[in-house]
């Protein structure tokens, strides 16, 4: 079972034909601190292109929650990275994922989500969930493909990021990614009130899949 197989099965959810490169992963995960007690959330972890880099930076410190909506990918991820807390859940339910683990907030959120494939409402809901989950000094990173940067979904995302964060810095193009991509580094979230968290904690995934 490969990333490409999952793309063919579910192109609008997977959103890319190949995993991100190590070059892109290094840039997207750079804000992950090497200090103990950090809560790092990875959204749309897929086959783990960013996961190993986050684990390397944490070096056994902190709590790394990887949220993935595709069950096959989530099981594969949990098997490959047994020290990562894999949640089979929709990123929209991040509040419940954190609450079910007793985590008050995330210090860093690294997103690998396919924003361009999301409808406007879904994009808004997922971003709200991420912003609301961040600590006041938290950092959010996500990426966009350069060729699609000026297409309506990517422009909508950039506008939304700029409205939800005090600082949005667009990184240099990562030419070593296929296709070339750039990373948004977003700081100082501005949360807005959202209705009750409910019971949407997702399901913890263990290597056996149970």
Ligand X SMILES: C[S@@+](CC[C@H](N)C(=O)[O-])C[C@H]1O[C@@H](n2cnc3c(N)ncnc32)[C@H](O)[C@@H]1O
* Residue numbers at the binding site for ligand X (CB under 6 A): 13-16, 19-20, 43-46, 49-50, 67-70, 73, 90-91, 112-114
Q: Token pair of 199, please?
A: 């019971």
The C-alpha atoms of residue 168 and residue 166 are separated, in whole angstroms, by: 7
Nearest CA to 110 out of 96, 94, 125 is that of 94
Q: What one-character DSSP code corresponds to residue 28?
A: H
The C-alpha atoms of residue 64 and residue 61 are separated, in whole angstroms, by: 9
Please state the closest distance from residue 166 (CB atom) to ligand X, in A: 25
Nearer to ligand X (CB atom), residue 38 or residue 142 = 142
Nearer to ligand X (CB atom), residue 91 or residue 183 = 91
Nearer to ligand X (CB atom), residue 87 or residue 161 = 87
Please state the closest distance from residue 67 (CB atom) to ligand X, in A: 5
Nearer to ligand X (CB atom), residue 103 or residue 178 = 178
- Closest residue to ligand X, judged by C-beta, is 112
Please state the closest distance from residue 159 (CB atom) to ligand X, in A: 20
Nearer to ligand X (CB atom), residue 38 or residue 70 = 70
Please state the closest distance from residue 74 (CB atom) to ligand X, in A: 9
Please state the closest distance from residue 9 (CB atom) to ligand X, in A: 10
Q: Please, is 154 exposed, middle or buried when counting C-beta atoms within 10 Å of its C-beta (0-12, 13-18, 19+)?
A: middle
Nearer to ligand X (CB atom), residue 45 or residue 160 = 45
Please state the closest distance from residue 3 (CB atom) to ligand X, in A: 7
The C-alpha atoms of residue 149 and residue 30 are separated, in whole angstroms, by: 22
The C-alpha atoms of residue 93 and residue 81 are separated, in whole angstroms, by: 22
Residue 182 φ then ψ, to 5°: -135, 155
Alpha helices (runs of H) in 61-210, residue ranges in sequence order? 71-80, 94-99, 120-133, 152-164
């Amino acid at each position: 079972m490969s990333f490409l197989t999952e793309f063919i099965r579910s192109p609008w959810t997977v959103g890319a034909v190949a995993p991100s490169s190590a070059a892109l992963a290094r840039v997207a995960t750079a804000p992950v601190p090497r200090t103990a007690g950090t809560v790092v959330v990875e959204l749309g972890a897929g086959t783990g292109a960013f996961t190993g880099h986050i684990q390397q930076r944490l070096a056994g410190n902190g709590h790394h929650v990887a949220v993935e909506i595709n069950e096959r990918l989530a099981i594969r991820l949990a098997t490959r990275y047994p020290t990562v807390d894999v949640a089979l859940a929709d990123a929209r339910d991040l509040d419940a994922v954190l609450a079910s683990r007793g985590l008050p907030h995330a210090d860093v959120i690294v997103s690998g989500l396919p924003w361009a494939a999301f409808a406007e409402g879904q994009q808004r809901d997922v971003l709200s969930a991420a912003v609301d989950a961040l600590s006041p000094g938290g950092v959010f990173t996500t990426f966009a493909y350069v060729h699609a940067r000026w297409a309506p979904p990517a422009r909508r995302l950039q506008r939304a990021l700029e409205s939800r964060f005090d600082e949005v810095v667009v990184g240099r193009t990562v030419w070593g990614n296929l296709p070339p991509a750039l990373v948004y580094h977003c700081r100082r979230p501005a949360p807005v009130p959202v209705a009750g968290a409910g019971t949407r904690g997702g399901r913890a995934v263990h290597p056996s899949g149970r």
